[in-house]
Structure 1
Amino acid sequence: MAKRLPLIILLWLGADLYFYQAIQTLVNSSALLWCYWLIDLLLISGIVAVIFGRRGSRSQQTLIAWLMGLMLLAFIPRLFSLPFLIIEDIARVFRGFPPRTFWVSELTLVTAAILFLIVLFGITRGRHFYRVRRETIYFPDLPEAFDGFTITQITDIHSGSFTNAAGVKKGLDLVNAQGSDVILFTGDLVNNQASEMTRWIPAFAALKAPMGKFSVLGNHDYGDYIQWETPGAKAANLTRLKQVHAEIGFRLLLDEAISLQKDGQSITLLGVENWGKGGFHQYGDLKKAAVGVPDNAFKVLMSHDPSHWEGVTLEHHQHIHLTLSGHTHGMQFGIELFGFKWSPIKYVYKQWVGLYQNKGRFLYVNRGFGFLGLKGRIGMWPEVAVITLKRKSISTDQTVEV
């Protein structure tokens, strides 16, 4: 990151310099114009302080959260309002570069102001603006007893980021309100340390599901992202985290499978430890988890990182009907309107949010319950997913992503 810092700063200042032309067209006060650049100077100074600060310190994490919010407030409204200036400049080329028109600069600033308010909502209220998202998936070999079986999936709690008890309770009440047969949690209970969950144990223990609550570990649960005094301290933290899962009533699956029984029939629930591409640890072992599972069993897999689906699951010799993942958070920033979805994270993860299908094998990537780094969510609101399993051939009008 430190090596790329000069390039990042140049790109940022380049975009701001372009937007500054609209400001300069409308504002005559030199003091206000200086304030415009002072904001950039302060934010860049903060970035430098974060990069060269002590890695993993609490003060650094707090500074990162504040900086991310301020950077988005300062940069996103400017960036997404630039097309008006670009279009005007294309027209100015054919007109001999006359001065900028006031109305285009006004339109640019009004657009930036609206986007500023949207971003402000996201970083102040978006972190607990929970949305219920529903999917019905059809399988021809689903056992009849499980026709209509419901799963509520939550993921990426990141309890170390929580500060608002009322906001967290709002999300948990929404989970319970779904009345699903099972609740499945697909990893990242904490940011780094098991102690982050201490305050929240009673709240999460209140989650209820008639056929049980089950969980797996995510990449943040292993304590890999902070420095520990000794390897033993890190191991003890993971042991404690596993105990926390039990204390909140979740059966933690560590490369293993269990059978869910209903009216004399069953489906198999598998859970693997974290496995991810792009430098993430690959602790999980699907082969180990599937030992003893009949080939013809209906299988639901919990795997934190969606890259595991194409990297391992699709190549597994057994048919894994449905995989539930999280991890991406939808980057906590994006656009979802009228079926259109976009976030910068899509350029990192091929399967980044929502439902995907490959030859009758499905993957659902949850947007996440909590937040990390940025203390908010903009467009990619926190999610409670409700998935209904139905016994039926896949209908031609069912919409899935491939």
Structure 2
Amino acid sequence: MTTDRVHLPDFRLLAWRDADPASRPDFDPAAVAELVRSLPPAAEVPQAGTDWRLADFWWDRMTAAMVERFGAWAVGWQHTVVMEDYPGRGVIPIWCDVELTITTPAETLNRLARALVAWHELTVELATDARGRFAAAAPAMTDNTDEPVAWRAVKAPGISRFNPARFARSVPHPESLSWADVDPRGRDFDRATVAAMVAELVTATNLPAQEADWRLRDLWLESVSIGFTERYGLWAVGWRWSVGEGDLDGGPVGNWCCFRHSVTTPQETAAVISASLIEWRDWLNELAERFDRFLPLAADDLDGWERAVAHLVTAVGDRTQYDSAWYSCCTAVLRWFLEAAGIGADEHGKLLDHAVGGSFASWVEPDRELVASVAERIARRVAGA
């Protein structure tokens, strides 16, 4: 599959002169399906189930071919508009992504053709607002533009929706794991095997260049995580949970940052990744030891719970340097502690939202009074007070 990056018009910057259906009087919706099938990338439809990052390269190539054939307006096939009652804004137009799934080549190309026709029909509606859906949401005129009122209405809010599930990954974020997933006790881990293991995963032939498309870099990083989980277990995905604004944001791993800053030569990169995995494992060992200092812990032992929570918040803060999103690691560790203490999983979210939600902020070390307040709220919530 071709993974060369293509340059497409920025949909957000489309002007009405680009989208105006009056500029394409010869456009025939009935002929679109055949024209789409005739474009060169149409002969290379990826197989169903292809990773979305690789499939995206094909969608980009098809879009580029349609732009070349039909004009810049064709880039909009991936978008549609719905009217939504938006908090504080009233009923306004919201842009939504058009999601197409790759199935058979024929069905995939037919769906793409229908999406392009649907976008054309939307621009026809925007030219006159014949259904009266958009005019009320249009901003006041500030210049002598001849753009249709409906076009100004849909462009003004600048709000869009997308489905996060489309960007699903093969490995979970470490924050989403349970203590049962990451508890190091009872899990053999021979750190002497790590260097050789990483050397198999990081080679000159598979390491993307710094200037490679982000999708290829992301796939490669995920492949390393998959290799670790297959060898050591699911807990190993945390090797990338870097301190601050790195790959996964807000974690306890200092050796790794991100592809841009941590990937150099294959040998140096392998050394950094090895150190990161070992550092993550050491952190889990440290957490297990800290948990054992306080457990078992009776639900009505308010003092014990307060001491444990304050201790763990401080430990996480010190480890993450109270950097960007450090509170996500803090919440995960507190959830793991609740699990280790025998508190039911269905209580974790409610308990932590009540006690911690919104209390901590990026780049801010909480004062002792705030930490004590959070610890007290958790203790009382656990005790049912």
TM-score by length of 1: 0.27
Counting helix residues as a fraction of each chain, which structure ranks higher?
2
Work out which structure has the larger RCO, using CA pairs closer than 8 Å and 6 or more positions apart in sequence.
1
Counting strand residues as a fraction of each chain, which structure ranks higher?
1
TM-score by length of 2: 0.28
Structure with max Cα Rg: 2
